[in-house]
Amino acid sequence: MRSSVSAVVSLAVILGAAAPTAVARPHARALQDKKDYLTDTEADKIREANNPSDRIKLYIGFADDRLKKFDYELNRQTPERRRGEVLNGLMNAYSGSMDDAADQIAEAKEKQVDIHASLKLLESRGKEFLAQLEKLEQGSGPDFDDYKDTLEDAIQATKDAISDAQRAQKEMLPAPVRRKPS
């Protein structure tokens, strides 16, 4: 209990100290828009993407990258000193990418943008990712307890993204077919 109270107090102190800085710096808003798990280059790609369809594709690519890095770290012969933190960070970044990809569906609906191709990609790649995650869940290596909870969260995020994509495919009208004038 004491550690959670001190964590809340520490957070309040940090936020209190950061608030004047955010007002003083006009580019603070741009810094807040960047997700914690994205590199600066990835965040720039997201900002430059013109529509939800492009952003979905980018987020799926980022999720794939995080899973590959996770697999690499898990199978390294000489692990990092803080391997558990690294594995959890990569799995959280994967979950964030999948959540953000699914969030783009709502934006596309709101803007009435055709994202059918991206939805199919999200569903198919999501199923691949889910199979990979479930395989990880069945294996219980020496570090399994370190990332078990974040793995469960990642599995749930993937299932949610797949179901959101399937639901959106049913609900969204197909793009209008343009006919050549006769």
Q: Give 18-63 pLDDT, tens digit per residue.
A: 443 333 333 333 334 456 889 999 999 999 998 999 999 999 999 9
Same-domain check for residues 90 and 22: no
Query: Is the same domain home to 77 and 141?
Result: yes
Residue 14: the pLDDT is 40
Whose tokens are 């209990």? That residue is: 1
Beta-carbon-side half-sphere exposure of residue 61 (alpha carbons within 13 Å)? 12
Distance between CA atoms of residues 34 and 181, nearest Å: 46
Check whether residue 29 and residue 111 sit in a common domain: no
Are 129 and 116 within one domain? yes
Percent over 70 (pLDDT), the chain: 76
Is the domain of 43 the same as that of 23?
no
User: Does residue 60 lie within any of the structural domains?
Assistant: yes
In a domain, 179, yes or no: no
Domain holding 29, by residue range, is 1-33
- Say how far residue 97 (Cα) sits from the centre of its chain: 1
Give the whole-angstrom CA distance, residue 151 versus residue 2: 28
Is 104 found in the same domain as 83? yes
Q: Are residues 113 and 160 in the same domain?
A: yes
The pTM (predicted TM-score) of the whole model is 0.75
Answer whether residue 3 shows pLDDT above 50.
no
Using CA atoms, how far apart are residues 146 and 5, in angstroms rounded to an integer? 24
Examine residue 178 and state whether it is found in any structural domain, yes or no. no
Statement to judge: residues 81 and 13 lie in one domain: no
**In a shared domain, residues 60 and 15:** no
- Per the prediction, the chain carries an average pLDDT of 80
Q: Does residue 46 sit in the same domain as residue 97?
A: yes
3 state SS for the chain: CHHHHHHHHHHHHHHHHHHHHHHHCCCHHHHHHCCCCCCHHHHHHHHHCCCHHHHHHHHHHHHHHHHHHHHHHHHCCCCCCCHHHHHHHHHHHHHHHHHHHHHHHHHHHHHCCCCHHHHHHHHHHHHHHHHHHHHHHHCCCCCHHHHHHHHHHHHHHHHHHHHHHHHHHHHCCCCCCCCCCC
Inform me whether the pLDDT recorded for 10 exceeds 50. Answer: no
Based on the fold, state whether residues 25 and 50 are members of the same structural domain: no
First CA to last CA distance, the chain: 75
Give the angle 23-41-101 at the CA atoms, nearest 5°. Answer: 90
Domain count, the chain: 2
